[in-house]
Chain A
């Protein structure tokens, strides 16, 4: 088990380094680094001074070294617009993004899995077919349009829920989050639904496929032959078996929640990391873009590692032998 963890950590480190090289090449070698890092309204002499100060006149390899050294120390540049360290900016906005992502994940799991299990159990009935078609619709609707339509119906026409922005925050377990207040939750509902639609559809389909694969298996028949109650068979025997592929994909798709979060945050004017990215792209605040990339890549790596770990927790066949990762 520990060998497994160490191996994965090393792999993750490798990926991180590769991506850092790619980002570096993208920013410093292809694009004009001066344009990216120096505010566009600087005068010529200011530019020249900045170029020397930033070390842009030194060989590329040295620049990469400096970049890495700074990154390790936690310095990923300063924002042009806010004149703050980029890391600070991003971390400030992370809680908002995370609570949106988790709420969306919550919806997709607690709506998707039950629906998928029902559809798989009552396969080929009208209910099943409707759920399946509905799920195709779910991942066909463009996220941003969905968000807009939700605002239109529930905020503009019906006036039930607020249209944009984050609500009031309170504290849960010492963390400031808008899940703590009813006002905050009201603001979270529409964006979370919009964000979760795609994932919920995927979860429904996955769960149904898992049910269809697992129900005809011999151990289910044996469980029935033992005289077990139907509920126990489905919720213990079958459920634990289908959980494995679901966890894998849910974990992998967590990244897409953050990706589509960018779009949803823009529509709902949600003050998270995603909106910061888009705004920074528009405002040509490129140090923020670079820093954002590095942080998000780190997050993906951590998420993948956690998913792998939990995967081995659920499936004892993997836990109890050394896995070739």
Chain B
């Protein structure tokens, strides 16, 4: 009965955004820019490399049996002991750089994306809660947001990991703790603006449950700003993880990320074996750069269009 009433009463031009519509509009907007298109392609390639790592790499960098210490610190392009060519050289243990890098990419991307997803969930929930409930709930949550955002993420993560110790799960936790506030603040802002709009009032009049209003009505219209900052935040999470791992506070040696690989190469830097740090760092830079370029384009596409997108059905 309520379903029927809903389709009759809610004015159609204020219906919340449908997900498919948003996706295609965004995608076409992004590919319009050549730079963003290149960035998007690179991102996809990198993602595929990371996902299909075990099948792509020439050598398993963590199978000690396949490593030969005599192959260590070979410059790029050298021939190995057993005949294959190390196109990007080897590291201090004789590991093929390409293989190490791709696995490292896996960890870097994994940690960045995972922490991003959790941070979005936590931040969005808290942001919606703050906007919807208002009052002291809002004030309490926002004071925490202000506190978190007042200090540089790296420092907070650093101290957290110093206390918690090493481990992938701890890194993800620390990154979630420093990131959620960005999402919470953005979502709260958008949700507050949306809350006073007509379709929310209409839904309330129909006595739809709070949870339903929040998730099926408010949330889709908060998506555009979330997407915009998600790209930049994920890029910065990947960068942060790299920095933390470089300092030895991040992922353990058993699951190295690109940051840790760079750290491993640091001691060889001054003696000339630059490639051990250079290539992983270059790959890291390309990854972050591509995500940021796409994110920047997303911001341009989504911001002026925000009004348009809501009206279309």
Contact = CB atoms under 8 A, between A and B. Distances in A.
Query: Do they bind each other?
Result: yes
Contacts of B269: 148, 151-152, 156
9 contacts: A140-B292, A143-B243, A144-B242, A145-B284, A152-B274, A152-B278, A156-B269, A255-B151, A256-B154
B285 A262 contact: no
B35 interface: yes
Interface string A1-36: 000000000000001001000000011001100000
B159 interface: yes
A281 B278 contact: no
B251 to A, nearest CB: 15
Given A148-B266, A262-B154, A262-B155, A281 B162 contact: yes
B246 A263 contact: yes
B4 interface: no
Given A148-B269, A149-B278, A293-B159, A256 B292 contact: no
A100 interface: no
Q: Chain A's interface: helix, strand, loop or mixed, by majority?
A: helix
B277 A136 contact: no
A28 to B, nearest CB: 12
Contacts of B274: 152, 156
Q: Chain B's interface: helix, strand, loop or mixed, by majority?
A: helix
Given A140-B235, A141-B288, A151-B269, 10 more contacts: A133-B293, A143-B243, A145-B284, A152-B269, A152-B274, A163-B270, A255-B150, A262-B247, A281-B249, A282-B248
Nearest to B293: A136
Contacts of B205: none
A139 interface: yes
Interface string A283-308: 00000010001001100100010000
Nearest to B247: A278
Contacts of A145: 242, 262, 277, 281, 284-285
| Contact-residue bracket for chain B | 35 or more
A62 interface: no
A304 B248 CA distance: 31
B272 interface: yes
A297 B235 CA distance: 26
B289 to A, nearest CB: 4
A300 B149 CA distance: 12
Contacts of B151: 255, 297, 300
Contacts of A66: none
B65 interface: no
A144 B152 contact: no
A283 B274 CA distance: 28
A259 interface: yes
Interface string A251-267: 00001101110110011
Contact of A142 (B147, B150, B281): B281
Interface in A219-270: 255-256, 258-260, 262-263, 266-267
B22 to A, nearest CB: 24
Contacts of A26: 159, 163
B247 to A, nearest CB: 6
Interface string B253-294: 000000100100010011010100110010011001100110
